[in-house]
Structure 1
Amino acid sequence: MSSQPSTKKLIQIALFLVIGAIAPLLDTTMTNVALDTIMQSLRVSVNAVQWVTTSYVLALGIAVPVAGWATNWFDGKTLYLSALVVFLLGSVVSSWATTLPLLVVGRVIQGAAAGIVVPLITTLIVQVAGSQGLGKLMAIVGMPAVLIPILGPTVGGYLIEAGNWHWIFLINIPLVLVSLLLLSWKMPHFPAPKRGKHLDLPSLGLLAGLFTAAIIGITRFSTGAGITSTRVLVPLSIAVVLLLGYIGYATWQPQRALVSLKLFQAPTFDAAVVILMLSGIAVNGAMFLLPLYLQNSRGLSVIWSGTYLIAQGVGLLVSRSQIGKLTDQIGARWVVLGAIVIAIAGTLPFVFFTAHTNTGWILLALFIRGIGQGGLTIPVMADSYTGVPQPLIAEATTATRMLQNIGGALGTAVLATIIQHELPHVGETAAYQTAFLWSVGFIAITAIPAWFLSHRSAK
């Protein structure tokens, strides 16, 4: 864009970008509430159905570095619209699916497209606005980015109740078509700067292979003879080999590797990425777990399970307004440690809840969980840039987003595996209680890396 646009024009651009992302943002949580229905419809296990979520998150995580590269070399508008078309294709495939493999293929296509669309919102706004009113613009973008996934389970519940689970994908088709028409007409072009790293296929291949092999190893744990089973050990061994391979490649070709090893020389970055991985397991894993728990253990309908989860979203909104201010005042360490305590307080009750526990206690626990969730992500993302050299900022963004998404995929796989292991031995309610206990454990462990985040003494 040739000249600095007015604030009104910038807000208009921000809103257009958010409109385009409504369908991908809804999809991040809307599908969770349909998992039980899909499981029964396609006659698959909990462990198998978790691939509907895991494949989406995994594809999204792998696509993030591609988005970082593509933004530097392609016009932003063309890239954004192309990714929406791909998301539309994934939605069509998912809506037609009558088998789990075909549904997973559709989810992979959707996830890869969402991995381009969602990071582009922030990148393009920063590119066009510079530092002009960025706080207000981020508030415009940030609020729908929080609200839309919160509404996902409720919207999904109503669609399933009115039709069937195919409608959670069919609804994307008109949403994306309207977005494409509006954005083609009104959205400005974002010329590519034509600088930065080229897409390094060896890096992408090693990272994609590493994370995919790790997820396959974990999910096979539920059907294998145990951790020593060949079906489990082979993919996990491949993941370790690929990790060592990437470290070797990034050492040999530091100018080409997608994620520089220099990033890990900053202690706060190391702490932040470990927390993002662990909180991804605890937070995203529990988002997979909660709708299944509410429907199977509590006997709620899809609509009511989605409605219950609004309490968690309200907690997240309440904390979001204060977390940033607190982090600026006292640093990320104390905010995250406090959030860990709150998140445990909101998750631990689920270890003891039964099918007859009063609804008020469940809603209160979900609200408290939401407050803790906000404190586990916002300050950590901000602190991940502390001490990172300026030329590596873009790569830090790629690494943190990718690891957060991979943590989410791992969380879904781990908790699904635990439920699958426990169900035959202890029954439904106890199996979910065990999975929530593991979730609490993952949250508690984050206190160790949290101690290495930045902190400020009271003045």
Structure 2
Amino acid sequence: MTTQKSAQQVTQLALFLVIGAIAPLLDTTMTNVALATIMKSLNVSVNAVQWITTSYVLALGITVPITGWAANWFDGKRLYLGALVVFLMGSLLSSWATTLPILIAGRIVQGIAAGAIVPLITTLIVQVAGGQALGKLMAVVGMPAVLIPILGPTIGGYLIQALNWHWIFIINIPLVLTALILLVWKLPAFPASHQGKHFDLPSLALLASLFTFAIISITRFSTGDRLQSANVLTPLLIAVISLLAYVIYAACRPQHALVSLQLFKSPTFDAAAVILMLSGIAVNGAMFLLPLYLQNTRGLSVVWSGTVLIAQGVGLLISRSQIGKLTDSIGARWVVLVAVVIAIAGTLPFVYFTAHTSIWWVLLALFIRGIGQGGLTIPVMADSYVGLPQNLIAEATTATRMLQNIGGAMGTAVLATIIQHEITRGSLNAAYQTAFLWSVGFILITAIPAWFLSHHSQRAHS
């Protein structure tokens, strides 16, 4: 009875924590649907509008390592509530925006807050759970990420059509205020362990430099600069130097580095890290791509494009609980490998779809893609913690979130680049078909590191 009660308490804590993530996740899905409308409203290009997404991811990625450190030294509840207040401020600024720079500034503030909110949920829950039943818990923690993609695009579409795109940020205000009141009342304190590493400025500077210059290089390439140009190669070189410098620094000062190299001694963590980056490209990149495809190629309104995307969310929702149970019972390897096949089956048809393809085929493909998407995220996130000691959990969260966010930013930039380049050569539909083909390629590559994830015999001995 004690174990059952403990498991029930952990699940309840997970549910309370995910309440705070509703506004950031809803905002992300609604922003993707609004990109085409914002492009027209502010009179900017696809490459310019991608900064609305990229700046958010960039700010989020730089904040993640700070959150990994802060989780060990400050009360988790106060950190979480503080991040929600910052997100509220970012939403207010975004809702007032009348130019692209102001909107990007608001998105940066929102990204800073999300860089604390999302990792804190995982870190606090894994610490409380003690590493048990992580597949099931990741399914609970990720529930908003399932339900909100079902509701977000449609809600965003109606807000944009009935009012204007500013309302996708205004709607966050009552949501965040409600979450703050509920969490102040119901969420217990998460006392700091004071057992982690002290804040290390060189670590943060090197990680921030790596993340920032990698994204700048990608986005400059996506805005038309040639790969061999100094505008692209210079920030890319700085990113590579930052990575090498961090590895040397972490090897020489292991007690200070914010992300320990010990994490990468685990084959399952290494595999999970690579897959999270690749799936970030395939999944997040496609989330940027799909609303634009539905609106620009098929001519759907923002409301209808959001409604059509419900099919993907339904597929994700149906598969989610079973994926969590399967991961806990047989490990992540076979779950992810099957998910790769399903995700390809749901994405490949878009390479051949035209503006005249029946909408029913589009809905079926999105539904199948949703099932595969769940299998590329839940098992991998759970597997990244398998066999890790308690003191490395926060650092594991930092590393996995950074890689996932770099992958997401890369996916957005790469697919935007492909569309922009292909449009100059042929039709708009052909440009999107090529972008979807690249997305299929990224999904296919994830099968290689998936082989190194945990499986049943390993779980039995862990």
Alignment correspondent of 1:323: 323
C-alpha distance after superposition, 1:65-100 (max 9, x if no partner): 222221222222221221111101111111111121
Partners of 2:133 and 2:193 in 1: CA distance: 22
- Matched residue, 1:54: 54
Which residue does the alignment assign to 1:107? 107
Q: Kindly tell me: are residues 241 and 7 of structure 1, through their superposed partners in 2, closer, same or farther at Cα, counting changes over 3 Å?
A: closer
CA apart distance, 1:192: 2.0
Match of 1:350 in 2: 350
State how 1:358-437 maps to structure 2 within 5 Å.
358-437=358-437
Q: Report deviation, 1:388.
A: 3.8
* Superimposed CA distance per residue, residues 132-181 of structure 1 (whole angstroms, 9 cap, x where no aligned partner): 99988766544234212432211111110111111101111122122223
The CA distance in 2 between the partners of 1:443 and 1:128, in whole Å, is 33
Is 1:334 matched up with 2:303? no
Distance change (3 Å), C-alpha of 1:212 and 1:150: farther
Aligned CA distance change for structure 1 residues 194 and 258 (closer, same or farther; 3 Å):
same
Q: Is the 8 A contact 2:61 2:211 kept in 1?
A: no
Structure 1 residues 374 and 9, CA gap change in structure 2 (3 angstroms): closer
Aligned pairs for 1:232-243 within 5 A: 232-243=232-243
Q: What do residues 2-44 of structure 1 show as CA deviations (whole Å, max 9, x unaligned)?
A: xxx9888766655443332221121222210000001111111
Show structure 2 runs of 5+ residues with no match.
none
Q: 59-68 or 151-160: which moved more?
A: 59-68
Shift of 1:278: 0.6
Do the aligned partners of 1:21 and 1:117 also contact (CA within 8 Å) in 2?
yes
Letter in 1 for 2:244: L
Take 1:455 and 1:126, find their aligned partners in 2: how far apart are those partners? 20
Taking structure 1 as reference, are residues 126 and 449 closer, same or farther at Cα in structure 2, changes over 3 Å only? closer
Q: Which residue is equivalent to 1:34? A: 34
| Alpha-carbon distance in structure 1 between the residues aligned to 2:7 and 2:265 | 38
Tell me the matched-pair count.
455
In structure 1, what is the Cα distance between the partners aligned to 2:75 and 2:329? 39
Partner in structure 2 of residue 152 of structure 1: 152
Q: Which residue of structure 1 lines up, in the alignment, with residue 295 of structure 2?
A: 295
Instruction: Sort the Cα spacing of 1:319 and 1:93 in 2 relative to 1 into closer, same or farther, 3 A.
Output: same
SS at match of 1:221: helix
Percent identity reads 79
1:403 and 1:305 map into 2 onto residues whose CA distance is 29
Specify whether residues 138 and 452 from structure 1 end up closer, same or farther in structure 2 by C-alpha distance, changes over 3 A only: closer
Structure 2 residue identity aligned to 1:337: L
Q: Do 2:123 and 2:394's aligned partners in 1 also have CA atoms closer than 8 Å?
A: no
**What SS is found at the alignment partner of 1:226?**
coil
> Kindly tell me: are residues 294 and 402 of structure 1, through their superposed partners in 2, closer, same or farther at Cα, counting changes over 3 Å?
same
Query: Which residue identity is paired with 1:175?
Result: L
TM-score normalised over the length of structure 2 = 0.92
In structure 1, what is the Cα distance between the partners aligned to 2:327 and 2:366?
23
Deviation at 1:187, TM superposition (A): 3.6
Aligned residue number for residue 455 of structure 1: 455
SS of residue in 2 equivalent to 1:300? coil
Distance 1:178 1:442 in 2: 39
**Structure 2 letter corresponding to 1:237:** L
Cα deviation, 1:255-291, whole Å, max 9, x if unaligned, reads 1111111221222221211111111100100000000
Match runs of 1:200-239 below 5 Å: 200-239=200-239
1:306-354 deviation per Cα after TM superposition (whole angstroms, max 9, x unaligned): 1111110111112212223333444322221111111111101101111
Structure 2 counterpart of 1:246: 246
Partner-residue secondary structure (3-state), 1:426: coil
Q: Which moved more, 1:368-377 or 1:219-228?
A: 219-228
Aligned pair in 2 of structure 1 residues 225, 253: CA closer, same or farther (>3 Å)? same
Partner Cα separation in structure 1 for residue 112 and residue 314 of structure 2: 29
Deviation at 1:189, TM superposition (A): 2.9
Q: Would the aligned equivalents of 1:226 and 1:232 in 2 still touch at CA under 8 Å?
A: yes
Q: Which runs of 5+ in 1 are unaligned?
A: none
CA contact (8 A) 2:249 2:257 kept: yes
- State how far apart, in whole Å, the 1-side matches of 2:186 and 2:457 are: 48
Question: Residue type of the partner of 1:75?
Answer: D
Who is 2:314 aligned against? 314
2:277 & 2:134 partners in 1: Cα distance? 28
Is this contact kept in 2: 1:27–1:149, CA < 8 A?
no
Distance 2:343 2:398 in 1: 26
- The alpha-carbon distance between structure 1 residues 242 and 429, as it changes in their structure 2 partners (threshold 3 A), is same
Contact conserved, 2:94 with 2:166, CA < 8 A, in 1? yes
Offset from partner CA, 1:89-147 (integer Å, 9 cap, x none): 11111111112122111111101101211222344445567689998876654423421
